[in-house]
Amino acid sequence: MATSTRLVVYVSLVASAAIAAAKFIAYLSTGNASMLSQTYYSLSDVGNQVLLLVGFRLSEADPSRQYPFGRGKEQYVFAFVVTVLLFGVAGYASVREGYAALGTPFRAVDVRINYVVLGVALVFELYAFYKSYQAVREEADKEGFADLYGTFRQTKDGPLLTAATENLVAIVGVVAAILGVYLTDVTGNTIYDAAASAVIGLLLMGFALALAWENRGLMVGEGVTRTERHALLEAIGDVDGAEGVLDLRTMHLGPDSVLVACEIAFDPALDTAGVETAVDAVEAAVREVVPEADRIYVEAESQRSGHEYPFGDVDEDDHGR
């Protein structure tokens, strides 16, 4: 999945860099506020992809004494920075430009260059969205998510979530800009151009807020989904010699890295070799349910306590999503 996500980011980066330059030239030629907002958007998109690639690079560092669990969460950090800094700022700038354009006198210019640039941008954005949509479908099929909304809410791949949502919003923004330019040119009323700019800005700001919220949980230390947790309890329950789960904690260290720590009550009749065999079986069961689990810690107890989770049940305090 990391390869698919990185391909989506590279495609978006190349498309955005070329489109940003074309949009700015079109703005200089026509003076349409919506074209300037589109320029802000594409520039923020370029910065977005660059930061995501930096996050990919840093997250590949091996575990060290300073970072004993690796740096997989770098991807979440940079995805969060992208949403707040770039898209929030670009969104505000677009809304400001739209407000400033209200009441400005209409200036008759040849807007065909806008149509050409926006048309080309739409083609590139549609292609980028198609690639990101394919990656999202792969993620949904791999994790067993029911639909795209479920994937948005439950996926742990922050960069993929950012790139895919951005591509969808980009298409809506280009369509809004085309309508703004066309209606202003036909009616001679600049309010349509100003409104298009404001709509683009509000889309960016809304996008930033939604993704910041999703990435926040991953940065703090979100665990596996409720379904995966339920499956883990059942899988551990099927291990010979395991009598109960006293504690089960999970955390995503990155899109493809999960920490699983569990405290399990084993049959008191098991000898040391039997407990070791049971622990190995628990680790294998965990990997079968969550293949991304690369940090598994099992603490064995020879007797139960009053705080165990019955096999197959889900702790009500687990947000699990």
226-301 CATH, one of 3.30.70.930, 3.30.70.1350, 3.40.50.300, 3.30.420.40: 3.30.70.1350
> What residues does each domain of the chain span?
2-220, 226-301
Q: Is the pLDDT of residue 282 over 90?
A: yes
- The pLDDT score that the predictor gives to residue 147 is 63
pLDDT in tens, 230-263: 999 999 989 998 888 989 999 988 878 899 999 9
pLDDT at 317: 46
The predicted pLDDT at position 1 comes to 47
- Mean pLDDT for the stretch of residues 52-75: 83
Please check the confidence at residue 310 and state whether its pLDDT lies above 60.
no
Residue type for position 185: D
Q: Is the pLDDT of residue 149 over 70?
A: no
Architecture of domain 2-220: Up-down Bundle (1.20)
Residue 175 clears pLDDT 80, i.e. is over it: yes
Residue 43 has pLDDT above 50, yes or no: yes
- Dihedral sign of CA atoms 82, 83, 84, 86 in order: positive
Higher pLDDT, 268 or 169: 268
Q: What is the pTM of this model?
A: 0.65
